[in-house]
Amino acid sequence: MNRHTATGTSLFAIVPVAVVGSATYALAPGGKFDGPASALLVAGSLTGALIGVSLSAKFTDHGLRLTFAIVSGLLGARLIVPLGLGAGSKALTLTLGAVITLVLLGFFGGVLSGLLGIGGSGVLVAVMVITLGTEQALAQGIALTAVIPTALVGAAAYRRRGQVAVRPGITAGLVGAAVAVPASTIALAVPSTVLRAVFGAFLLLMAARTLVRQRRTRRALATA
């Protein structure tokens, strides 16, 4: 499966996961959901996703993955070493600055999703925590809801290019949706600072995994 098909398939697969996950965040006791904030993200992300898909053919796989690894690594380290972030706010006040920030974050998150697939969502959550001061669970709940239309638009664009593996996408989506309920429930029960550190470690792991895969790929090409 080439990079473009992998990206399109990941966007296709994340839709049921995001639906189940966001519903769990919204309906569970102590759930985290902010419809207006998610709508503002979507206002920027739909256009961003289409731009990301159109740009995907113009970037090399190595350049994209390296950029993603660097950004994910830096954000992950920032979340693990909070440097005064605190537990984060349990509610997001939609000031003019927050509104503009959410739309811009949605746009750039959409571009990343169109270029990289689901990896763009993780970056979006981290940036929300750092720039808007929201607690980790709230940021994840807001982002999960916004992912649904964003991923649908991106997956549809890749599908028109024949770059979505439907069967693997359905399988991955169903498995992910089944895991989403317990995973979201656990996330809601964990203290915000702990959840933030775990998410930061996840981003660091993604960055390291991406770099290792890139190194192996370059070695294989060099010896071919």
At 15-46, the pLDDT tens digits run 999 899 889 888 877 678 888 999 999 999 88
Cβ-based neighbours of 108, under 8 Å, separated by 6 or more: 44, 48, 124
Contact 52, 106 (CB under 8 A): no
Cβ-based neighbours of 180, under 8 Å, separated by 6 or more: 17, 20, 21, 24
60 pLDDT exceeds 80? Answer: no
**Would you kindly state where each structural domain of the chain is located, as residue ranges?**
3-223
Helix/strand/coil (H/E/C) assignment for every residue in 77-125: HHHHCCCCCCCCECCCCCCHHHHHHHHHHHHHHHHHHHHHCCHHHHHHH
pLDDT tens digit string along 118-160? 666 777 788 888 888 888 888 888 888 888 988 898 889 889 8
Helix (H, G, I), strand (E, B) or coil at 25: helix
Contact 26, 33 (CB under 8 A): yes
Q: What percent of the chain has pLDDT over 70?
A: 92
Compute the average pLDDT of residues 62-84.
77
Q: Which residue has the higher pLDDT, 112 or 60?
A: 112
DSSP of 134-199:
B-HHHHHHHHHHHHHHHHHHHHHHHHHTT---HHHHHHHHHHHHHHHHHHHHHHHHS-HHHHHHHH
pLDDT tens digit string along 183-201? 888 888 888 888 888 888 9
181 pLDDT exceeds 60? Answer: yes
DSSP-derived letter for residue 28 is: S
**pTM, full prediction:** 0.78
Place of tokens 């720039």: 131
